[in-house]
Amino acid sequence: MYHVAGVDVGSGTTKVVIMGEGRRVLGVSELRSGADLEAAAVEGLEKACRVARVDHARIAYVAATGYGRYQVGFRDVQITEITCHARGAHYLFPGTRCVLDVGAQCTRAINVDFHGRVRKFRSNDKCAAGAGRFLERVAKALEVDLEQLGELSLRSKEPQPISSVCAVLAESEVINHVSQERKTEDILNGVHRSIVDRLAALLRQVGLESEVTLTGGVARNIGIVRLLEARLERQVNVSSDAPLAGALGAAVLALERMRKLGAEGTHLYVREGQA
Amino acid sequence: MLIAEIFDRCRALVDDTDLSTVAAWKAAHPGAKAIGCFPVYVPTELVHAAGMLPVGLVGGGGHIEMDHADSLVQSFVCSISRSTLELGMTGRFRNLDGLLFPSICDVARNLSGMCSRNFPALWVDYIHLPQNRASAGVVDYYRSELARVQVGLDVLAGRTTTFDALAASIQAFNQQRAVLRDLHAFRRSFPWLLSTEELHLLTNAGSVLDVAEHTNLLQETLNLLSMRKGKPKDRIRVLLEGAFCEQPPLELMKAIEEAGCWIVEDDLLLGRRWLATDVTLNGDPLRALAESYVRQDTVSSVRHERPRRRADSLVERAREARVDGVLLCSAKFCEPALFDQVLLRNALEQAGIPHLALEFEEKMGVFETPRTQVETFVESILFA
């Protein structure tokens, strides 16, 4: 029996999933990535192993993904976030045909086949507007906890428009609304609407198909989820594990590799000190 | 010496576009001369036998600015020709006494003429390598061409090269080729213990070192490699084809390997391995060199081959090296490589070997696009 790990080193948080042979999740961890990405990956793996009650030396294969994947020195393979989020979304909702991954810095729309394999994808431009980091800055400017953004925005009666696609200029617009004594929930709702506009446009570029699954940290924002559903005129799959989708996908792909390597008889990847 | 120190030394040698190593060699050998040899293959044994130092010209890499050469060469010509000219126009050939160009493409031919005109202090010769290997007179022709070049070198050196001296030089290069073969075999078996970037540095250091010193360096590295430890990562095995003349930046090789490939076979710095087996000495060493060139099975875009032969050879090499895919990695504006690319892609397609075409130039500085291309290629194979 062996275990694998999926390590997603994102620009905001590092997520680790420990998975058993039967694709069962045994343990997860989530922590801030900080400036030392390798250290975050090591700490994340140790934490997830403790939760899973698995000796980390027993991890047979590590697949790394995310913006810091090349910093994971103990990885066996690195995989792009696009492939991992596609597989992760498919793992959470097997009927998924479109994935919208909204992370701290990147937003991606991915069209997948019945097996969760990537058919088409589009990423946002370099600008962080439409991604989690922008929401963090807005939360700071409005002195609201990040976790409360979604619920608060749902109370809006008079959403305030945010027209800029640039995160910095959009933040200026937010401050302008604050100076005009607009209600916080109305400003937030306007921010969410501007983000959802861009998400919907990105999704249409890869071909909108049912089912749509939202992954990444922003999936925790209920305000975004509701607005997105209204804009797409359909229900959107959201799991409480949505932020872990990249790490889940990496773990699923790690299992696939283990099975293939075993079948090919070329399993070279037993760690030092292991039988 | 530690293995890391060897690689550091090689990097310093390779980065030194002022050829100070050549200056030091000349200071240690008063009166001796140094000849720059343009890729791909030049019979360096002739230069060595004349008591001179053959210096490999491998362009300017990313180290020099093209301030002068662009006034003489169009921007749609390969980087190595422009940077070679730039090296000369900025006085970096001051430690060289001559230049030898092989007949590999129109650009190399024209470059030899431009060097003759622009650097009158240098002896410049153009060696006509035989293109038709099937002709009955090919060995005789090439022997006479080698003899002609040898005479020119002898006049420059002010001495006469004897058969014994040439035979000794051939032996010296045979030894170098043998260790290079061993290093390539080592990388093919243990690519996680010797990266392509490291192998390239080791090989390229031979561009400015005397053959005996380079052979010793290679042998010492090989001995140390057998003690090196490392854990293999899950990567695909690839063959890299198309970089036989102009060399890709080391960062590109590193990016390709980091993106999930083991490069286990390549045609980088092909000239040093052009004669894949030892030159057999049997009487006339000039004839032995000529026969070796003609009989060798090295197939490249810079030697005329029947189209099927060129394509079949790549497929055979890919199968022999047990690769998962082929990277057709050619220099921007390299006509020989690009002419062959359709042929090679079709052959790989028919053989069911996955492949990816990449393009490079000496001064490229951003490697994110090729890294993403290679990562996607790797994922399409690993998770097919």
Average pLDDT score, chain B: 95
Domain range for A47 is: 3-84+245-263
- pLDDT for A141 equals 85
The whole-model pTM stands at 0.85
Task: List the single residue in A70, A75, A257 with the smallest CB-CB distance to B382.
Answer: A257
**Is residue A68 located within the same domain as residue A127?**
no
* B379 contacts on A by Cβ (under 8 Å): 79-80, 83
Please state the rounded mean pLDDT for residues B135-143.
95
B375 in contact with A, Cβ within 8 Å = yes
Alpha-carbon span A29 to A13, nearest angstrom:
10
**Is residue A60 located within the same domain as residue A158?**
no
- pLDDT for A105 equals 81
**What is the CATH number for A48?**
3.30.420.40
pLDDT reading at B322 higher than 60: yes
Average pLDDT score, chain A: 89
**Is residue A223 located within the same domain as residue A251?**
no
- Please tell me the total count of domains within chain A: 2
Name, of A190-204, A260-274, B55-69, B187-201, the range with top average pLDDT. B187-201
- Position A269 in a domain: no
**Is residue A61 located within the same domain as residue A115?**
no
**Is residue A45 located within the same domain as residue A123?**
no
What confidence category does residue A126 fall into, taking pLDDT thresholds of 50, 70 and 90?
Answer: low
Interface probe for A, chosen from B229, B233, B234 (most Cβ of A below 10 Å), is: B234
What confidence category does residue B20 fall into, taking pLDDT thresholds of 50, 70 and 90?
Answer: very high
Q: What are φ and ψ of residue B325, in 5° steps?
A: -165, 170
pLDDT reading at B376 higher than 70: yes
- Position A177 in a domain: yes
- pLDDT for A123 equals 83
Alpha-carbon span B135 to B137, nearest angstrom:
5
Condensed to tens digits (0 to 9), the pLDDT of residues A18-54 reads 999 999 999 999 999 999 999 999 999 999 999 999 9
Q: State whether B234 and A256 contact (CB < 8 Å).
A: no
Return the percentage of chain B with pLDDT > 90, whole number. Answer: 86
Alpha-carbon span B382 to B384, nearest angstrom:
6
Q: State whether B375 and A269 contact (CB < 8 Å).
A: no
Q: What are φ and ψ of residue A26, in 5° steps?
A: -100, -25
**Is residue A80 located within the same domain as residue A188?**
no
- pLDDT for A127 equals 64
What confidence category does residue A270 fall into, taking pLDDT thresholds of 50, 70 and 90?
Answer: very low
C-beta of residue A170 within 8 angstroms of C-beta of residue A143: no
Distance in Å, alpha carbon of B6 to nearest chain A alpha carbon: 24
Task: List the single residue in A83, A261, A268 with the smallest CB-CB distance to B379.
Answer: A83
- Position A50 in a domain: yes
Which of B221, B314, B384 minimizes the C-alpha distance to A115? B384
- The CA angle A51-A81-B191, to the nearest 5 degrees, is 90
**Is residue A79 located within the same domain as residue A106?**
no
Residue owning tokens 């040898």? B150
A163 contact partners, CB below 8 Å, separation of at least 6: A173, A194
pLDDT reading at B359 higher than 70: yes
Q: When comparing pLDDT for A88 and A194, which is higher?
A: A88
Indicate the angle between helix axes A167-179 and A132-142, nearest 10 degrees. Answer: 20
Q: State whether A75 and B233 contact (CB < 8 Å).
A: yes
C-beta of residue B34 within 8 angstroms of C-beta of residue B26: yes
**Is residue A13 located within the same domain as residue A66?**
yes
Residue B17 tokens read as: 């576009």
Pairing of strands A236-238, B355-360: unpaired
- Position A181 in a domain: yes
- Position A271 in a domain: no
* A75 contacts on B by Cβ (under 8 Å): 233
* A80 contacts on B by Cβ (under 8 Å): 372, 375-376, 379
- pLDDT for A130 equals 56
DSSP B221: H
Task: List the single residue in A77, A80, A272 with the smallest CB-CB distance to B234.
Answer: A77
Residue owning tokens 């619920």? A151
**Is residue A233 located within the same domain as residue A108?**
yes
pLDDT reading at B381 higher than 90: yes
- pLDDT for A212 equals 96
* Buried-exposed string A73-107: b where 16+ CB fall within 10 A, e elsewhere: ebbbbbbbbbbbbbbbbbbbbeebbbbbbbbbbbb
Report the amino acid identity of residue B75: S
Please state the rounded mean pLDDT for residues B9-24.
96
Return the percentage of chain A with pLDDT > 70, whole number. Answer: 93
The 10 Å Cβ neighbour count of residue B45 is: 30
Interface probe for B, chosen from A80, A85, A256 (most Cβ of B below 10 Å), is: A80
Region label for A207, one of left (φ > 0), alpha (ψ between -120 and 50) or beta (otherwise): left
**Is residue A121 located within the same domain as residue A72?**
no
Please state the rounded mean pLDDT for residues B47-51.
98
Interface probe for B, chosen from A61, A83, A252 (most Cβ of B below 10 Å), is: A83
pLDDT reading at B355 higher than 60: yes
Locate the DSSP E strands across B209-279.
236-241, 261-266
Cα atoms in the 13 Å half-sphere on the side-chain side of A35: 0
pLDDT reading at A267 higher than 50: no
- Position A273 in a domain: no
Which of A2, A1, A6 minimizes the C-alpha distance to A249? A6
- Position A153 in a domain: yes
**Is residue A181 located within the same domain as residue A148?**
yes
**Is residue A233 located within the same domain as residue A99?**
yes
Please give the interface size between A and B, counted as residue pairs whose CB atoms are below 8 Å apart: 34
pLDDT reading at A266 higher than 90: no
- pLDDT for B294 equals 92
Residue B257 tokens read as: 């390997």
Task: List the single residue in B231, B258, B376 with the smallest CB-CB distance to A272.
Answer: B231
**Range with the poorest average pLDDT among B187-191, B232-236, B302-306:** B302-306
pLDDT reading at A128 higher than 90: no
